[in-house]
Amino acid sequence: MIQNELYNFIISANDSTKSPIDSVRSGDTSVLSARQTFITKPQGINPVLTYRSQNKTIDPYLLILIGLSALSLVLVKHLMPRRFFQLLGSYTANRWLNQLLREWDPSKSMPGPAIVLSYIFLLALMLSLVLSKIYQLASPQTDVILNLAVIIFLFTLARQSVGKLISLIFRNKELNIQLRTIEFSHYLTASLAMIPAIIILLLYPNETGFLIGLLMISIVFIFSFIRTFFYSLGTAPFSIFYLFLYLCALEIVPFLLLLKTASLVLTGEILIFETKF
């Protein structure tokens, strides 16, 4: 009798026909390993299996992405210091903006494209860390960040196209060039702010580090929106209502869509490609 009971216990313990999700749904959580955690999506259905690392080691590929982005900004500063400080000054002062517009166009000349690429990768990493903390997901992997970077690039390209279309409708190409230049100055300033914010989120993955990193980047983005609004208000030849619609089409709506898309990428519902590192 004792041997039969022991045999039945071993067979039931090694039964591999029952998946972890079925076990959780039936109330049996003993089959979960120490590194597996089930969470629910924001809609409250379909549990998602995530893996939480017991140690606090940082993915080296994330450090490589941060290092390459920071290195590109350092090279821009040393190789093109005048354009670097013109872009940085255009973020707050119209004097620097007018001087920059007389000399070069950031969307067509270096270091504009290099700054945009650094901004895209840093924003992808920043969004993945912040949303992972909000939704209580595991630390994002490199393939998720690369997928999110591709989506941010597509969003940026779509915003530029919508901006050109609106400038054609309102027949104000000059204003679109000025706003696009302010946007490039935002890319540079936001990149410089996101590097220490991301490092804080990686080194201090607690509530204090999360709030400090989120506060640093929120100030930059909010000031960028205010800067664009008041500059357009003093320059645009149309009413505040049309200006508000313009900013909604280029700033508010794309950002909300980007947040929603980023959450879908983190939960694995949207993946443009898969990589193995």
Domain-located, residue 48: no
Domain-located, residue 207: yes
Global pTM value = 0.73
Could you tell me which residue, 28 or 74, shows the higher pLDDT?
Answer: 74
Domain-located, residue 10: no
pLDDT of residue 71: 92
Domain-located, residue 272: no
What's the total number of domains in the chain? Answer: 1
Domain-located, residue 34: no
Domain holding 148, by residue range, is: 57-266
Secondary structure (H, E, C), the chain: CHHHHHHHHHHHHCCCCCCHHHHHHCCCCCCCCCCEEEECCCCCCCCEEEECCCCCCCCHHHHHHHHHHHHHHHHHHHHCHHHHHHHHHHCCCHHHHHHHHHHCCCCCCCCHHHHHHHHHHHHHHHHHHHHHHHCCCCCCCHHHHHHHHHHHHHHHHHHHHHHHHHHHHHCCHHHHHHHHHHHHHHHHHHHHHHHHHHHHHHHCCCHHHHHHHHHHHHHHHHHHHHHHHHHHHHHCCCCHHHHHHHHHHHHHHHHHHHHHHHHHHHCCCCCCCCCCC
pLDDT at 84 over 90: yes
Domain-located, residue 21: no
**Tens digit of each residue's pLDDT (9 = 90 or more) over 116-146:** 999 999 999 988 888 888 877 777 777 888 8
Domain-located, residue 202: yes
| Percent above pLDDT 70 for the chain | 74
Domain-located, residue 136: yes
**Tens digit of each residue's pLDDT (9 = 90 or more) over 22-55:** 444 444 444 444 444 444 444 444 444 443 433 4
Average predicted confidence (pLDDT) for the chain: 75
